[in-house]
Structure 1
Amino acid sequence: MITTYFIIIEVVVLLSRLYGFMPGLETFSRYERSWLKDDVRAGLSVAAVALPVAIAYAQLTGVNAAVGLYSCVLPMLIYALFGTSRQLIVGPDAATCAVIAAVVTPLAAGDSLKHWQLVMTMTVMTGFWCLIASRFKLGVLADFLSKPILMGLLNGVAITIIVGQFSKIFGFTFDEKYLLERLGGAPSYLSQTHIPTLLMAILTVVVYFVMKRLKPTWPASMFAIAVGGALVWAFHLTDYDVAVIGSVAGGLPSFQAPVFNIGIARELVMPALNLAMVSFVSMMLTARSFAAKNGYDIDADKEFKALGLANIASALSQGFAVSGADSRTAVNDANGGKTQLVSVIAAVLIAVVAVFLTAPLEFIPSAALGVVLVIASVHLIDLKAIWGLRLRDRQAFYLALTTFLAVLFIGVIPGITLAVLLGLFQFLRTVMRPTDQVLGLDAKGIIRSLDSSDKASSVPGVFIYRFNSPLTYFNATYFKRRLLERFARQNQLETVECVIIDAVPCFTHLDLSVMAMLTDIDVLLRKRGVSLVLAGRKRQLISWFEQTDMVSGEEGITIRSDLYLALKMQQSHVAACEAQQLDDSHSDDSTETVLTHSQI
C-alpha cells in the first residue's frame, strides 16, 4: 500500500513538472468535448488564412514558396505544446520576414542556395537568443520596447514592405536598395509598367474586396490568389510575361542543420538578437491582449522559450523565423477557438498541402502575392495612433516618430537597432532622472504630495522627500542634488529641523556609492542642525548599515519603520523639547523671583 502511494506521488510530481515544461499538455489533459467544434472551425479558418500569407511571406523573404509552408507546420505544433496562450497562432510575420530579407540579401549576393542557408542560420540564432533569454528569466523584456517604439517600428516596416511590393504589382525591378531612392525614381519605374501584370494585380484586388463584401468570414486572400492562379493556368498568361512563383518543391522537408560560413554567420549574430527582441515584444502584445480578453494569464518567460523552440524547429525543417501572427490570432479568436488544438489542426492541414498539393501553387502570379502582402501591411499602418500620442504623451510621440522615420530613411535593421537603443535610453533616463515629490499632510492627516491643488500642506519643521526610482551609483549624485535643492527651497520658507526620506521606493538594494552619499548628506545636514531620518525598510537598512560600518540611531542616521511613525516620533520629539524648554523657562523665572525676594 505504501509503495502504491509513493508511486502515485511520483507520478503526480512528474506530471506537474511535465505540465510546467509543456503547458499545452495540461490544457489537452483537461480538454472538454464541447470545445472541439469551435476548435475545428477555428483551425480550418486559420489554415485558410495562413496558406496564402505563408506563400507570400516566403516570397518576401526570398525563398521558395514551400519554405513558407514549412515555417508554419512544426512551429505551430511546438507552440501548441510549449506556449501558454490558448489563442496565439505563430507563423511567418511581416516584420520578421522584412528583417531577414534586409539582412540576408546583401550577404547572399544573388546565390539562392546560400540565401536559404543564411535564412535558416539566422532563424536558429534567433531561437537560441530566445532560449537564453528564457533561461535567465528575461521575460520582462516584453516591456523593454515600449508601445510607442513598436508602433513606429511596425508602421515603418509596413510602408517599406508596401513600396517594395510595387515592383511585383507593376511588373518592374527596383535597382535601389533603400526606400527614399526608390520613391525618387518612381516616375522612371512607372514608365516601365507591365500592363498584363498590373491587370492581374487589379483583378486580385477586386476579387479580394468582393469576397470581403459578400462573405466577410471567408478567406478572401485565398480566393483572390486561387482566381489569379486559375487564370494563369487556363489562359497561359506566362506567355504574356506574367510572373509566377514557379516550381514548388513540395514533399516532406529533410531535417538538417543549417550549413554556414563562420565569417558570414558572425554578421548575423546581432541582427538575430534584434529580431528575437522585436519578435518577442510583438508576440507578447498580441498574446497578452487576447489572454486578457479571454480571462487568463500568460507566462512571459515560458513564451520566450516557446518562441525559441518554434524558431529552432522552423530552421531544422527548412523554414524561416516566425513570431506571433496577430491577424491569424484574431481569426482564431473570432471563430471561437478555445485551446491550442487550433494550432495543431491548422498545422496538419498546411502539412497536407505542403506534402501532396504543391503542384497548383506554381501558377500563383507574383502580382497576386504582392497584393496580399500590401493588404496585410496596410493593416499594420496606424499613423493616426502615432499622431494621437502628440496630445496625450509628447515624449511617447517623439519616440514613435523617431523610430518610424529611422526605419524609412536608414533601413529596417538600423531602424530596429535604433528602436532597441531608444528603449534602453528611455529606461536609463527613467531610472537616472526619475520624478520626485515633497510630501505633506492633508486635512485628514494623510501623507500626500505637495502640489498646486493645495490639498496638502507641509509639516512645520519637517521636510519629507520621496525619490521614485531605485537608488544606485549612477543616480546617487542626482538624488543628493535634488534633495538638497528642495530642502533649501522649503528651508527658506520655514525653519526645517528634520529631513525624512521615504526609503521604500528608492532603497531596494545595497550599493556602497549610495551609502557613502547618505553619509555625506547626513554630515551636511548636521552642520545645519538638521536630523536625517529614513522611513521604511527598517530591518534591511539596519543590516546594510552594519555591513558598511555606518552609524544609526541618535549618533547617526535615524531609521523608522514607516513614514507615519517617523513623522509621529519627530513631532513627539519636538513636543518633548518644547515642554523641556518651557520647564526650564519656568525654573528660571522661579529662581529670579527667589533672588529678588532675598535681595529685598
Structure 2
Amino acid sequence: MLGYRRSDFSHDLIAGLSVAAVALPVGVAYAQLAGFSPIFGLYSTILPMIVYALFGTSRQLIVGPDAATCALIATAVTPLAAGDPKLYISLSIAIATLAGIFCIGASFLRLGALADFLSKPILVGFLNGVSLHILVGQLGKLLGFPIEANGIVPNLVEMVLKIQQTHLPTLAVGLATFAVLLVSPRVFPRLPAALVALAAAGLIVAGFGLDKLGVTVLGVVPAGLPDLRLPCLHMDLLDDVAAAAAGLALVSFSSMMLTARSFAAKNRYHIDADREFAALGAANIASALSQGFAISGADSRTAMADASGGRTQMTGLVAAATVAIVLLFLTKPLQYVPIAALGAVLAMASISLLDLHTLGRLYRLRKSEFALSLLATFGVIWVGAIHAIGVAVILAVLRFVSISAKPRVEILGQITGISGFHATSRHPEAQTYPGLLLFRFNGPLIFFNAPYFKQQTLASIDAAGSGLRWFVLDAMPITQLDVTGYFELEDLVHTLHERGVELVVAGRKMQIINWHKRQGLSDKYFADRHYPTLRETVRVYKELFMTKEELSLQQERRK
C-alpha cells in the first residue's frame, strides 16, 4: 500500500468491478454447492479478499469460494451434521479455522514445497473426479426433484428411478440458463456470463411468476455485512474435523498454487510459496471469523482480474468493497434467482473444471502418468471426494517411492563426435574401455535405495567379467549421501578389493572430503582415487593401463 502507484488505480478499479461481477453470482452458486444459504457465499468473499491482498505475493490471484473446495466441504460436513443446520454451519466454520491454522503452521515450517507434492497428473485426476461429483450433484436441481443419495453412482441411479418426477418449468429454466451461458460470451463479451445468466433467469421468474408454478427460488436474502464471531470447535468431533481440514488445506493450497504460478509466469514475476501458504491460512481464518466457509484460489475470478487489466492486489480490495455494497443495498433482487439457474451455473463451472486436454496430453506423453490420473479420478468416484484426498496422497507417496527407491542406473561410454559420456543402454554404439567400468546412479544414495544401489553395482561388476580394474562411480548425480549409503559404499569397497578391483570416484571431490571431515570419518577410500570429472578419470586410466596399441585399436573402433 505504501508503494502503490496512482497510475495503476484506474486499471485496478475496472478489474475490481469486473471481478465483483463474477464473484457475486459464483459466490451465491458455490454457497448452494457447499450446502449454505447464498448469503454465506458472499460472506466468504469479502474479508478473505481483503486479507489476501495484504498478505499474498501474487499480483493477480483472487481468493474466494471455489468449486472443488465447496464440494469437499459438503462431503465432509454432511455426515457429521446429521441434518442439523446450525451444527452444519458451525462445523464448516471450524474446518475453515483449522485449515487456516494448518496453512499458517506449514508456512512457518517452510512447507511451501507441498504445492508440488500432489503431482500434476494426480491433481488433474482428483479435480476431474470432483468435477464429475459437482456435475452429477446438480442434476436434481435442474430436473426439479430432490436427490438424497450420496456419491456419483448412487446419485445417477436415484435420478434414473425418479426421472418421471421431472418438473418441466424447472427444467426449462435450467436449459434456458445453459443457453444464456453459452451465448452470452459472444453477445456480451465484456460481461461475465454467470452474471448475465442469473440476472436473465431472475427477470424471467419474476416477470412470468414462475415461482408460483413450482420453480424454486432463493427467497429473501438478508442484507448487511456479516458479524465477526470467534469460531466454536466441537471437541467431540475434533478428530473428524481436523482430518477434513488437513486434507482440504493440502488440496486447496496445491490448486491455488497452480493458478498463482501460471499467472505469475505469464506476467513475469515470482511468488513465495511459503508466504502464499500463510496468506491462504489467514484468508481462511478471516472467512471463518465472518461466518464464512473455507476458500481457495479462484480460477475464474483470477482470470477475470488479469484479463481486465488488474495490476496489483488493489483489484481484490475494490472487488471486496463492491460485494460489500451489494450486501448492504442490493440483496432484494437475489430472491428471484431460481435454484435451477444456480445448478446450471455450477454444472457449467464443473465442466470448465474438467481438464480432458491435459488428460489427453498425459496419455500421449506417458501412459503410466495417465493411469495415475485416472486412478485419482476413480478414487473420487468410488470413495468420495474427502476420502479420495487420502487416495491422492497415497498415490503421491507411492509415486515418489517408486521414482526415488530405484533411480535409473547407467553404464557409460563415449561416442565419437559427441562430447560427454552416454548410457550404453540408449546408445549401443557408445564405446567402453577394457578393464574400466563407468557407473552412474541417478539419485541420492540414502537409506531407502541403498540396497538397490548395492544390487545394481554387484550386477554390473559381475557383467564386466574378471578383467575389471577400475569401478568408476560418477558422483555428480548423487546429490545426497547418508550414513546408510556410506556403509553401502564401504561394503562395495571391500567387495571390490576381494576381486582385485579398485573403487574410483569422479566428481564432487571436495564435497565428499569435507563430508568425511565433518563426520569424523576416514577418507582412505576416496583420497587416492578421486578425480574431478569423468574425462579426467578416463585420461588417468588410459595413461596407467592402456598401451599405445590398445589406444589405437580403441580409436579405430570408435571411428
Range into which the TM-score falls when normalised by the shorter chain: over 0.9
Separation in 2 of the partners of 1:390 and 1:179? 25
Q: Secondary structure at the match of 1:499?
A: strand
Q: Is the 8 A contact 1:57 1:68 kept in 2?
A: yes
Aligned to 1:500: 472
Separation in 2 of the partners of 1:495 and 1:355? 87
Separation in 2 of the partners of 1:141 and 1:441? 40
- Structure 1 residues 143-171: Cα deviation after superposition (integer angstroms, max 9, x where no partner): 11111111111111111111101111111
Q: Is the 8 A contact 1:56 1:369 kept in 2?
A: yes
- After superposition, where does 1:288-367 map in structure 2 within 5 Å? 288-367=261-340
Separation in 2 of the partners of 1:556 and 1:227? 80
- Structure 1 residues 465-490: Cα deviation after superposition (integer angstroms, max 9, x where no partner): 1111111111100011112212322x
Q: Is the 8 A contact 1:552 1:558 kept in 2?
A: no
* Cα offset, 1:32, TM superposition: 5.0
- After superposition, where does 1:484-499 map in structure 2 within 5 Å? 484-489=458-463, 491-492=464-465, 495-499=467-471
Does the alignment pair 1:478 with 2:452?
Answer: yes
- Structure 1 residues 13-35: Cα deviation after superposition (integer angstroms, max 9, x where no partner): xxxxxxxxxxxx4xx605251x3
Separation in 2 of the partners of 1:220 and 1:47? 13
Aligned to 1:281: 254
* Cα offset, 1:227, TM superposition: 2.2
Q: Secondary structure at the match of 2:422?
A: strand
Separation in 1 of the partners of 2:275 and 2:510? 35
* Cα offset, 1:99, TM superposition: 0.3
Q: Which amino acid aligns with 1:472?
A: I
* Cα offset, 1:183, TM superposition: 1.4
* Cα offset, 1:507, TM superposition: 4.8
Aligned to 2:545: 574
Separation in 1 of the partners of 2:500 and 2:526? 13
Aligned to 1:523: 494
Aligned to 1:11: none
Separation in 2 of the partners of 1:383 and 1:94? 17
Q: Which amino acid aligns with 1:344?
A: L
Q: Secondary structure at the match of 2:413?
A: strand
* Distance change >3 Å, CA 90–CA 455, structure 1 → 2: farther
Q: Which amino acid aligns with 1:475?
A: N
Separation in 2 of the partners of 1:311 and 1:317? 10
* Cα offset, 1:366, TM superposition: 0.7
Separation in 2 of the partners of 1:53 and 1:30? 29
Aligned to 1:376: 349
* Cα offset, 1:266, TM superposition: 1.6
- Structure 1 residues 543-567: Cα deviation after superposition (integer angstroms, max 9, x where no partner): 4445666543479873333333333
Q: Secondary structure at the match of 2:129?
A: helix
Q: Is the 8 A contact 1:123 1:315 kept in 2?
A: yes
Q: Secondary structure at the match of 2:410?
A: strand
Q: Is the 8 A contact 1:442 1:455 kept in 2?
A: yes
- After superposition, where does 1:419-498 map in structure 2 within 5 Å? 419-443=392-416, 446-454=420-428, 456-489=430-463, 491-492=464-465, 495-498=467-470
* Cα offset, 1:420, TM superposition: 1.4
* Cα offset, 1:236, TM superposition: 3.6
- After superposition, where does 1:36-115 map in structure 2 within 5 Å? 36-115=9-88
Aligned to 1:14: none
Q: Is the 8 A contact 2:147 2:158 kept in 1?
A: no
Aligned to 2:508: 537
Separation in 1 of the partners of 2:213 and 2:263? 46
Q: Which amino acid aligns with 1:469?
A: G
Q: Which amino acid aligns with 1:540?
A: Q
Of 528-537 and 97-106, deviating more is 528-537
Q: Is the 8 A contact 1:552 1:559 kept in 2?
A: no
- Structure 1 residues 500-531: Cα deviation after superposition (integer angstroms, max 9, x where no partner): 1122322524x221111111111111111100
Separation in 1 of the partners of 2:516 and 2:182? 71
Of 274-283 and 247-256, deviating more is 247-256
Separation in 2 of the partners of 1:446 and 1:307? 46
* Distance change >3 Å, CA 484–CA 107, structure 1 → 2: same
Q: Which amino acid aligns with 1:465?
A: F
Q: Is the 8 A contact 2:505 2:526 kept in 1?
A: no
Q: Secondary structure at the match of 1:501?
A: strand
Structure 1 residue corresponding to 2:390, chosen from 400, 417, 431? 417
Q: Could you list the runs of 4 or more consecutive aligned residues of structure 1 that deviate by over 6 angstroms after TM superposition?
A: 554-557
Does the alignment pair 1:251 with 2:263?
Answer: no
* Cα offset, 1:413, TM superposition: 1.1
* Cα offset, 1:537, TM superposition: 2.5
* Cα offset, 1:116, TM superposition: 0.6
Of 247-256 and 297-306, deviating more is 247-256
- Structure 1 residues 346-371: Cα deviation after superposition (integer angstroms, max 9, x where no partner): 11101111233222222211111111
Q: Is the 8 A contact 2:493 2:525 kept in 1?
A: no
Separation in 1 of the partners of 2:270 and 2:462? 48
Separation in 1 of the partners of 2:83 and 2:489? 62
Identity, % of aligned positions = 44
Q: Secondary structure at the match of 1:459?
A: coil
Q: Secondary structure at the match of 1:457?
A: coil
- Structure 1 residues 277-300: Cα deviation after superposition (integer angstroms, max 9, x where no partner): 111111111111111111111111
Q: Is the 8 A contact 1:440 1:458 kept in 2?
A: yes
Aligned to 1:145: 118
Separation in 2 of the partners of 1:198 and 1:262? 43
* Distance change >3 Å, CA 360–CA 557, structure 1 → 2: farther
Q: Is the 8 A contact 1:531 1:557 kept in 2?
A: no
- Structure 1 residues 192-217: Cα deviation after superposition (integer angstroms, max 9, x where no partner): 11122112212222333332221122
Aligned to 1:583: none
Q: Is the 8 A contact 1:386 1:397 kept in 2?
A: yes
Q: Is the 8 A contact 1:553 1:559 kept in 2?
A: no
TM-score computed with the length of structure 2 as normaliser:
0.93
Q: Secondary structure at the match of 1:441?
A: strand
Does the alignment pair 1:198 with 2:171?
Answer: yes
Q: Which amino acid aligns with 2:474?
A: D
Q: Secondary structure at the match of 1:87?
A: coil
Aligned to 2:3: 29
Q: Which amino acid aligns with 2:76?
A: V
Pairwise CA RMSD: 2.0
* Cα offset, 1:309, TM superposition: 0.8
Alignment coverage as a number of residue pairs:
547
* Distance change >3 Å, CA 436–CA 211, structure 1 → 2: same
Of 228-237 and 519-528, deviating more is 228-237
